[in-house]
Amino acid sequence: MKRCELSELSDTEYDVIVVGAGINGAGVEQQLVAAGYRVLIIDKGDFAGGATSKSSRILHCGLRYLAPGKSIWDFVFHPSKFFLACQNARKAMIARSDISLSMKELVRPFRFFFPIYKDGPYLSWQIDSAFKLLNLLGPHDNSLEYQRFSGKNLQKVPFKKWFRDSKQLQSVSVFKDYQFISAERLVIDTIRDAEKMGATVRNYTLMHQPKQLDNGWKVTLKDVLTAKEVNVKTKLILNVTGPWGNCVNQTMKPSIPDKVIGLKGAHIVVKLPEEFSECGIMIINRANEPMYFLPWHEMHYIGLNRTPYDGELDEVMASKDETEWLLGEVNYAFPQLNLKRTDILYSYAGIQPVTFDESDPQGTREVVVHDLELDGIPNVLILTGGPIWNYRHIAKKILKEVSKRCVPTVAKQHPSSGSSEVTKLLRNSRSASVEMNISDEILKKIIIEEQPVYLADILLRRTGIGWDIDQGKSAVPEVATVMAELCGWDEKRKEKEMQLFHQHIKEIYQVQKYRGDSVCD
């Protein structure tokens, strides 16, 4: 997956250009090239550098889909909603089984605890019924291992003493779910397989000045690093840029109506007492929405809130109000923790792209492939919505739409559903841990084979080191030295790269701004 010179692409013709190299862009690229299409995938930033890298990283069982809105009667009086909920829950269970078995290096199981209160929105029998239904809907090769503790058995919950209002705590449900160790490497491995089958792959490449042709598009590609440009042609453009979807559409037609809305979600990262170690927790917060406490490098990241966002998409950070709100919810759920702003190790925020809905400012979770011919832009499709866990199903859905409009031109192949050799080396069978096995040999393979340009590309999106307790700072000198050797950097360039990384981390994670300073300072 070496990064080719932009000049090599000049005047090349493709069947499909995929714009956006997050998880859904990578997934559909893999399916398209396997189906016999000549494909180019580009991203104005790094692979998995947008919404994919800022998610909650849950390979979820689909429990949330079975939540019946305001009351159980919502499903009774609207059976179509119940049917749709079951469909979505089944998709989630299938994806949970598929990915956890085929890419076991990139996911790990953990126990998810869900407290049920007498004054809460759900009763014990409702939760029991939901899990029975999930077991019926999903494959039978990967058990949820569901159990519920109540009465004296509540003592088996390791952090039971920390819950609020023990008199109202009725029981605690526990089930097995999965966590993506690296959603970014999931993207990298998928792109690597597509490139192996013949796809053209390039990060830090911008599509601009698209011009409509009789049978497709003429597109100018611009190298973000060098500002060099070349022209290519394509029969079809796929806009899979997530939150940037409206912006990309507007480069083709400025007046096109919005198709996607971005919901901002913030997380805080803290160190919890030993009793919480390696335990995931799901609560219903006071906004009546699910909130997650997820184990990570002997820490927990906690989130998220969901609020419509129309700010600068390349500069998304957790605000002071958001982190304080999250702290308030944590302390409500576990009053004895009494967490303060100084307990936050770092924070981050991302944008969840959802389908625009005029009737709902928070959009809809529905996954839609829009044909923009209806808006006067033929031979362009845009995906809206699409959670990480569902990327394989979504890719096949888009492939079906592409096949209605464009005929494959090369031989079909079989895509791989497994992890790459580099991922296997990084993980080294550490199924119960989120740690990566880093060595100079592995770093060299990554630098040569996976198109990293900056230190952040390796530390955040190839190895995940940047997500540990010190945000990868201790690894910076070693990685910079290896990168300088292979990329031909002199000492001045090496020092500049290290400074850029530290500044990048400080900005996106709000590091060192919780020790008495305002986040907004």
Burial class from Cβ neighbours inside 10 Å (0-12, 13-18, 19+) for residue 314 reads exposed
Could you tell me if 335 and 344 are in contact, meaning their C-beta atoms sit under 8 angstroms apart?
no
- Report the C-alpha gap between 455 and 477 in whole angstroms: 10
Least Cα distance to 218 among 206, 209, 227, 229 occurs for 209
What is the 3-state secondary structure of 2-59?
A: CCCCHHHHCCCEEEEEEECCCHHHHHHHHHHHHCCCCEEEECCCCCCCCHHHHCCCEE
DSSP for residue 258: P
Strand partners, 381: 238, 371
Place of tokens 């959802």: 354
Residue 371: other Cβ atoms inside 10 A: 15
- Report the C-alpha gap between 383 and 238 in whole angstroms: 8
End-to-end CA distance of the chain: 41
Could you tell me if 327 and 341 are in contact, meaning their C-beta atoms sit under 8 angstroms apart?
yes
- Report the C-alpha gap between 92 and 97 in whole angstroms: 9
Tell me, what's the pLDDT at 266?
Answer: 93
Mean pLDDT by 10 residues, the chain (521 residues): 91 98 97 98 96 90 82 73 90 94 93 94 93 94 95 94 92 96 96 98 96 96 97 98 96 96 94 96 92 94 89 89 95 96 93 92 91 96 94 97 96 96 89 87 96 95 92 94 95 96 85 46 33
Tell me, what's the pLDDT at 519?
Answer: 36
Tell me, what's the pLDDT at 517?
Answer: 45
Vertex 256: Cα angle to 255 and 261 (nearest 5): 120
Q: Residue 299: which H helix or E strand, with range?
A: strand 299-303
CA dihedral 8, 11, 14, 16 (to 10 degrees): 100
The verdict on whether omega for the bond into residue 304 sits within 30 degrees of 0, i.e. cis, is: yes
Three-state secondary-structure class, residue 300: strand
Least Cα distance to 502 among 455, 435, 450 occurs for 455
Tell me, what's the pLDDT at 81?
Answer: 84
Strand partners, 349: 266
Count Cα neighbours of 218 within 13 Å in the Cβ-side half-sphere. 9
Tell me, what's the pLDDT at 84?
Answer: 87
Q: Residue 262: which H helix or E strand, with range?
A: strand 260-270
- Report the C-alpha gap between 516 and 344 in whole angstroms: 11
What is the 3-state secondary structure of 359-384?
A: CEEEEECCCEEEEHHHHCCCCEEEEE
Q: Given CA atoms 492, 498, 503, 508 in this order, what sign does their dihedral have?
A: positive
Place of tokens 């809105």: 69
Q: If you write DSSP's letter for every residue of 192-207 in order, what string do you get?
A: HHHHHTT-EEESSEEE
Residue 517: other Cβ atoms inside 10 A: 11
Tell me, what's the pLDDT at 279?
Answer: 96
- Report the C-alpha gap between 317 and 179 in whole angstroms: 23
Vertex 392: Cα angle to 389 and 396 (nearest 5): 145
